[in-house]
Amino acid sequence: MKLIELMNAYITFRQSLGAKFTTERYLLLSFCNAMGDVQVSEITSEQVLAYFKSSGPSKHWHRRYYALNVFFRYAISRGHLSTCPLPLTFPKRKDTFVPYIYSFDEVRLLLAGTKDVCSKTNCILETDTLRTILLLLWGTGLRLSEALNLTPADIDLDSDLIVVKDTKFFKTRLVPMDPRLTKVLSEYFTRQTGPKKANDQSTFFSTKLGNPISVDLMDRYFRSLCKQVGVVRTDTLNHYQPRLHDLRHTFAVSRIVFWYENGANVQRLLPHLSTYLGHRHLAHTQRYLTVTPEVLRQACNRFEKYALEVEYEKH
C-alpha cells in the first residue's frame, strides 16, 4: 500500500476517535513528502534516520518520533509492515519542560500592568478586556482559545456557568465559576457596547474595533506585559519564559493546594479536576500538576498527620 494512502487512512482513523490531530497530521504529512511516492513496505531505517537528521534541531526529534511510532504501530497492526523502521536510538532531551506557576503577587502585578500595556497608541485591546481575560484564565483554567471563542450566549451569568463548545476533543463541557468571577464578567459585559450586545453570536471578548481576538495577539501582549512588570523566569529553564497557558497550570496546582489545605481526598478528586479541565484521560491532568514548594509542604503535612495517626493506633 502507498505510504500516503495509509497515512490518510490513519489520520482519518485518529480523527474519528475525537482527536483534532492538527499538529500530528502536519508532522506525518511532512514525513510523507520527504519519503515521496513509495510503498509503506519499502521504507528503510536509513531513510527514516536521514529524515530526522534533515528535519531540524534534535529537540524536535521526540515529537516526530512519537507521531511516527504510533503510525508505524498502526501499519503493523493492519498487516502493512512486519517491523518498525524507526531508528533504535535518538538524541536525549536536554531538559524537561516545567510550566511556570504564578504566585498570587505575580498575578496581581500582571493585572495592575494591563493599564500601561493598553495605554499605548497602537494597542488594539482595551485595558478592561485584557484584564478580564486574565482573570477568566486564572479563575477557571480555560484554554486561551476556549476563552477567546466564547460568545455571550455561552456564559450563564445567572447560574455562574460557562458552556465551552468545540473543545480540543470536539466536546462540550460545563465550567462552574466562582460568583466573584461571574460578577467581574457581568460588569465587563455591561460596560461593553456595540456588536456584542446586538448579536449573541459575536465573541464575548473583542478588539477596540469589535473584531475577534486571536491567540497570537494575546500571546504578544502578554509577553510585553510580563516584561513590563518583571514577571520573568530566573531558574535553569529561563529560556522557557512565563506563558499565558501557564495560568491553566497555575489553576490546577492551586486547586490541589486548596484541597490539601482543607483535608480533602486529593486522589479521589483528581478525576473531577480532569473533567473540569476538559481532559480525556487523568494522565493528561497529571502533567499539569507541577510539584511546587507549597504542594510539597502540604503533601508532607498530610503524610506526617497520617504517620502520627498510625503510630497512635499502635499504642
Q: Which residues pair with 164 in a beta bridge?
A: 173
Q: Per the domain annotation, does 85 fall within a domain?
A: no
| Least confident range of 29-38, 163-172, 179-188 | 163-172
What is the model's pTM? 0.66
62 an active-site residue? no
Alpha-carbon separation of residue 221 from 87, 99, 130, 238 (angstroms): 42, 19, 9, 19
For residue 251, give the 3-state DSSP assignment. helix
227-238, pLDDT tens digit by residue? 999 999 887 666
For this structure, is 248 an active site residue? yes
Choosing from 80, 245, 280, 302, the catalytic residue is 245
245 catalytic? Reply is yes
Check residue 309 and give its pLDDT: 43
**Residue 236 covered by a domain:** no
Catalytic site includes residue 255:
no
Residue 88 resides in a domain? no
Among candidate residues 64, 131, 143, 255, the one labeled active-site is 143
Does one domain contain both 197 and 286?
no
Q: Which of 14, 248, 249, 255 is catalytic?
A: 248
Domain region containing 36: 3-77
In a domain, 298, yes or no: yes
Task: Tally DSSP H helices, then E strands, for the chain.
Answer: 14, 3
Secondary-structure percent of the chain, ordered helix, strand, coil, rounded to 5: 60, 5, 35
What is the total count of domains within the chain? 3
80 counts as catalytic: no
Say whether both 156 and 46 belong to one domain: no
Give the integer Cα–Cα distance in Å for 192 and 212. 14
* Per-residue model confidence as pLDDT tens digits over 41-100: 999 988 988 888 886 665 567 788 888 999 999 999 999 999 999 887 766 666 567 788
pLDDT at 58 (0 to 100): 57
Length of the chain equals 315
Q: List the CATH number of the domain containing 135.
A: 1.10.443.10
The residue annotated as part of the active site, out of 25, 131, 196, 279, is 279
- Residue 249 is among the residues annotated as catalytic for this protein: no
